[in-house]
Structure 1
Amino acid sequence: MEIKAREDLLKTQKERDFHRMHHKRIVQEKNKLVNDLKGLKLHYASYEPTIRVLHEKHHTLLKEKMLTSLERDRALGQVKRQSKISGLEATLRHMEIGHSYTAPEIRVGHRCEGENVPEGPTQKCLREAREQNKCKTKMKSNTKFFEEFYVMEDLFLECFIEVFWKTYGLDSEFPVVIQPDPSQYLCKENLGPSKFDYKLNNIFRLHELPVSCIAMHPRKDILVSCGEDRLWKLVGLPKGIVLLMGVSHTDWISDCCFHPSGNKLATSSGDTTVKLWDLRKGDCILTFEGHNHAVWSCTWHSCGDFVASSSLDKTSKIWDVNSERCRCTLYGHTDSVNSIEFFPFSNTLLTASADKSLSIWDARTGKCEHSLYGHMHSINDATFTPRGHIIASCDACGVIKLWDFRKLLPVVSIDIGPSPGNEVNFDSTGKILFV
């Protein structure tokens, strides 16, 4: 019995060792497959900017091809017209030589007013040819005019608008050099309370429906609260007294942003508009219309002459406050653009999209300069540090990423899920991040 028990024990140990080795091999294969899958995802992500660039080149080549074909048709029309005229002249010359003897004798100066002079074959053919050629030329010119008009309308309309506004000097100029406000960099290191010193101070009952966003005044103890009840309210701190209230949007308000001077407010809404408000009177002074779906976010340029907005229609727009028009539309994202923000004191824009990418744009040209990939879910918000060297972003599964803006590389990734991160913001020192 003892010998049999030993044999069973040895057999069981061998089976254990075999299954252990098999398990290790399966784990190694699984890790290899996981690494291969990550590599394939990164490889796939690297194709997206290339495809976007190729798509832009394809669109440019199509425009050039269309313009070339129009020039070719115009040149062919001129060649055909010249050949017809030369052929007609040769025919008339031949007819004049062959039938000159049949021409009637016309005495100049002796024709009565009611006298009808008979036409010879040369004059008759000449008149008929002229009338026929005149009708054909007129019909062809009209048809060609309308074809060219409808084809070139979209191409020249934007150019015409640009020239018109620049001619009359109503457009604002993007500043080349913007001097930053040094006061924002003079914050003390330990200005905020420590980790365990935060406590509830007051509760303000301002809206009947959920609050969508709040924004602090750049200089005063005032905040603006926006809600899904289509209202925004200017509240004085610390008592929470409502100083102003805006009533103009026809749908929920999604975002708001103070003018750098603090005298104006920009709001974006689900009614596809962006509105500017005078905080001295509380009146709406300007409404920008152009998006096809709800506008998610809005932001002011540091010079105060431009407002940028992002929308569910996969585009972003830059609005000129002085000329009251859209200066540029940013195309490139393949899904909703959820947030937009200007780089501090520059002409650079940052957008975050549901297509899981961040894009950096030149506001003067409307071109995408760089794209950042790394999130696996829809990006809800992105922002810069006060100094602008770090970007923070959050997605729909609670993953927070920090990016080095100078090197355009990810620095750290933090998972605080499973709840989504809806907004990220730095404190004035740039060392504390709020989610």
Structure 2
Amino acid sequence: MAAEESNKYYLEKEEVIDDTRDEFDYEEVSVEEDFVPPELEEDLDSAVRTIRESAEDDTAAQQRESEVKPSLVLKPEVVDDFLRNFLVRMGMSRTLDCFQTEWYELQQRGLMHEEDIGIVPDIYSRNSDLDSEVKFLKQEVTKYMNAALKAKETYVKLRKERDYHRMHHKRVVQEKNKLIDDIKRLKRHYVQFEPTLQQLKSKYEVAMKEKMLARLERDRAVGQVTGLQSTLKSVEHLKGTGASTASIRDVNSSVTGQRQGYGQSNDQGLGPTQRMLVEMHKQSQVAEDVGAYPENFKRHPKDSEFPIDTGVNPELGKKGLPGCLTRTGGFRLSNTFYAHSHPISGVALHPRKQILATSSDDHTWKIWSVPSGEIIFTGTGHTEWVSDCDFHPSGSTLATTSGDTTVKIWNFSQPGCTHTFTDHTLAVWSCSWHTCGDFLATASMDNTAKIWDLNSQRCRRTLRGHADSVNSVEFLPYSNTLITCSADKTLSMWDARTNYCALSFFGHMNSVNHVTFNGRGDTLVSCDSMGMVKLWDVRKNASMASIKCGPHPANKVAFDPSGVVLSIASNDSSIKMYEIASGQITPLVGHEDAVQCVVFDRSGEFMVSGGSDNTVRIWS
């Protein structure tokens, strides 16, 4: 036993230095526990497999020792078998042949003694077993030594990689801290510039507003000069022909009327229609004297007079405008700009300038230069979404309607809102100016439409008759007639002077969202919440055509100036161009969400649309 203990073998002793405690403090980076570098995966697998095999061998040996060994009868090995086994194990085949020949020959002759051919002594058997065990242990030592060397190499590699990643992490942390400091410095720098940017923005809007007002004043002055020159020529002509003093006095009174304008609120240059209305002003006074108003009707001292309808529409003589695009496929997207932070509900073009007004669900309205898309100024004052807007015929005033049940009037020459009408009890959807500029019509969710007098600043008419929300209202140009559409699936045509419903149109099966006249005033077009669009003949009070654009709702419709092309704003994010003569429909794709409103330029050179994607798009 002492000899066995002295022949034990040991692996190479290596001391692992614990260097986990250092002065570097870094953030813990979570990694997968079973992550092994690809180049070391094979070596680690072999080392782990070797250790597991050794553990399994030890476990099996312990189990064999713990088991009860069965009793066996050991037959001692004889000398000749011992020698043969030795020669076979050593691979000495020829020596084995010679040994067997001589052994059997001597044994047959009887020349071998009994002690030479008996049992092999125990010491030889024991030595043979020990030699076998020593060889096996040497093999195991070699295998474990190789595994230990590979584990050492792996440890050294992992340690180097750890040091590299630690250094890299330290550098990243330093860069991160530097970037954080830079961001904080830039934020402080930006905060210093924010008031300056706001001030510059305000100054820019004020400058654009003053520029627009200067243009309006210039146009008004040019109109007045032209009118005065024509009047002076008439006076000179009358003097030259020897006209009477009364005739000259009448012309001078006409000049005074042109300077004052039709109504006290309109100080712009008068067009031919407004001059005609001024001439008929005295006739309206006569109508009032003879009892044109009911006996129980209380007049206000500042009430405006509805101009007398002569039935003369300047657009009736126009077959088409030369600059207008009459092909449905003639429009292409030319410009896009984000106008508001919420969906755009209404757009309106200035009657003479390349200026656009937009209203939005973000409680604001804005004035833009088109087609460039430069903002002029922003209007705030409504407490809910702004549903619609419309320019005064003179271009100096804007009307807006809102979900806060109010109608506001904004004069560009004065800061803020000049007047607010509050008679509606529910949200107001739409507004439209009378051609003379003294009256404004609005449509509301309270099932009524109202006509407001801008001079007396009060409600002059309330149009009752619809059984549900009135979604749209529009004056027929150069007329006292207006049209309304409602969620009760009907359209109604009213006389603003008498508050009387002259015609009703039936045919829609769903809520009617919008209705409008063509330029000649003899055709109506309406659209409903299932995408059905109908053309109506006003003279026959009958439907002319039905256009299926559903199932998505059609939100607004508009005639081009020539009256041959119809534009339909659809909820499927497209604008459908319908050519009335051929019935061809061409979609214009560009918006990313529902198209809420569309309007044509008066010359027909371009079209403007607004949608729920917060953008205004110019089509030319």
Shared fold, TM over 0.5: yes
Aligned position for 1:356:
489
Aligned position for 2:308:
176
Q: CA deviation at 1:206?
A: 1.6
Judge conservation of contact 1:424–1:433 (CA < 8 Å) in 2: yes
Matched, 1:205 2:356: no
Q: Using the alignment, how far apart are the partners of 1:197 and 1:369 within structure 2?
A: 38
Deviations 1:307-346 (A, max 9, x none): 0111001011110100000011111100000000111211
Q: Using the alignment, how far apart are the partners of 1:402 and 1:196 within structure 2?
A: 21
Q: CA deviation at 1:185?
A: 4.0
Q: CA deviation at 1:284?
A: 1.3
Q: Using the alignment, how far apart are the partners of 1:218 and 1:313 within structure 2?
A: 30
Q: CA deviation at 1:238?
A: 2.4
Q: Using the alignment, how far apart are the partners of 1:217 and 1:184 within structure 2?
A: 24
Judge conservation of contact 2:324–2:561 (CA < 8 Å) in 1: no
Aligned position for 1:133:
none
Match of 2:416 among 283, 289, 308: 283
Q: Mark the runs of 5 or more structure 1 residues left unpaired by the alignment.
A: 1-158
Q: CA deviation at 1:369?
A: 1.5
Match of 1:422 among 534, 555, 559: 555
Judge conservation of contact 2:315–2:519 (CA < 8 Å) in 1: no
- CA gap of 1:227–1:366, structure 2 versus 1, over 3 A, is same
Q: Using the alignment, how far apart are the partners of 1:428 and 1:279 within structure 2?
A: 27
Aligned position for 2:57:
none
Amino acid of the structure 2 residue aligned with 1:317: K
Aligned ranges 1:105-254 → 2 under 5 Å: 162-165=297-300, 169-177=301-309, 180=313, 185=318, 188-189=321-322, 191-192=324-325, 194-254=327-387
Q: Percent identity?
A: 49
- CA gap of 1:249–1:429, structure 2 versus 1, over 3 A, is same
Match of 2:432 among 299, 308, 331: 299
Q: Using the alignment, how far apart are the partners of 2:385 and 2:482 within structure 1?
A: 25
- Give the aligned length: 275
Judge conservation of contact 1:184–1:428 (CA < 8 Å) in 2: no
Q: CA deviation at 1:181?
A: 5.2
Match of 2:504 among 346, 355, 371: 371
Aligned position for 1:403:
536
Judge conservation of contact 1:222–1:234 (CA < 8 Å) in 2: yes
Q: CA deviation at 1:160?
A: 9.9
Aligned position for 1:329:
462
Q: CA deviation at 1:433?
A: 0.6
Q: What TM-score, normalized to structure 1?
A: 0.60
Amino acid of the structure 2 residue aligned with 1:232: W
Q: Using the alignment, how far apart are the partners of 1:356 and 1:183 within structure 2?
A: 29
Q: CA deviation at 1:201?
A: 1.5
Q: Which moved more, 1:197-206 or 1:173-182?
A: 173-182
Q: CA deviation at 1:184?
A: 9.8
Q: CA deviation at 1:289?
A: 0.8
Point out the structure with max Rg over C-alpha: 2
Match of 2:525 among 392, 401, 419: 392
Match of 1:380 among 513, 522, 533: 513
Q: CA deviation at 1:276?
A: 0.8
Q: Using the alignment, how far apart are the partners of 2:480 and 2:501 within structure 1?
A: 12
Aligned position for 1:120:
none
Judge conservation of contact 2:429–2:444 (CA < 8 Å) in 1: yes
Q: Using the alignment, how far apart are the partners of 2:538 and 2:322 within structure 1?
A: 23
Q: Using the alignment, how far apart are the partners of 2:415 and 2:531 within structure 1?
A: 37
Q: Using the alignment, how far apart are the partners of 1:236 and 1:220 within structure 2?
A: 9
Judge conservation of contact 1:246–1:282 (CA < 8 Å) in 2: no
Judge conservation of contact 2:326–2:564 (CA < 8 Å) in 1: no
Q: Using the alignment, how far apart are the partners of 1:170 and 1:356 within structure 2?
A: 37
Deviations 1:341-370 (A, max 9, x none): 111211111000000000111111212122
Q: CA deviation at 1:192?
A: 1.7
- CA gap of 1:181–1:370, structure 2 versus 1, over 3 A, is closer
Aligned position for 2:170:
none
SS of structure 2 residue aligned to 1:265? strand
Q: Using the alignment, how far apart are the partners of 1:317 and 1:193 within structure 2?
A: 35
Q: What TM-score, normalized to structure 2?
A: 0.43
Q: Using the alignment, how far apart are the partners of 1:195 and 1:400 within structure 2?
A: 16
Amino acid of the structure 1 residue aligned with 2:384: D
Judge conservation of contact 1:401–1:414 (CA < 8 Å) in 2: yes
Deviations 1:372-421 (A, max 9, x none): 10000000000000110000000000000000011111111111101111
Deviations 1:109-160 (A, max 9, x none): xxxxxxxxxxxxxxxxxxxxxxxxxxxxxxxxxxxxxxxxxxxxxxxxxx99
Q: CA deviation at 1:228?
A: 0.4
Deviations 1:46-90 (A, max 9, x none): xxxxxxxxxxxxxxxxxxxxxxxxxxxxxxxxxxxxxxxxxxxxx
Aligned position for 1:152:
none
Aligned ranges 1:23-38 → 2 under 5 Å: none
SS of structure 2 residue aligned to 1:196? helix
Q: Using the alignment, how far apart are the partners of 2:418 and 2:319 within structure 1?
A: 34
Q: Using the alignment, how far apart are the partners of 2:555 and 2:415 within structure 1?
A: 29
Amino acid of the structure 2 residue aligned with 1:248: G
Deviations 1:168-207 (A, max 9, x none): x311110004665569948525622744343222211121
Q: Using the alignment, how far apart are the partners of 2:413 and 2:380 within structure 1?
A: 15
Q: Using the alignment, how far apart are the partners of 1:360 and 1:319 within structure 2?
A: 18
Judge conservation of contact 2:309–2:480 (CA < 8 Å) in 1: no
Amino acid of the structure 2 residue aligned with 1:170: K
Higher relative contact order (CA 8 A, sep 6+): 2
Q: CA deviation at 1:241?
A: 1.2
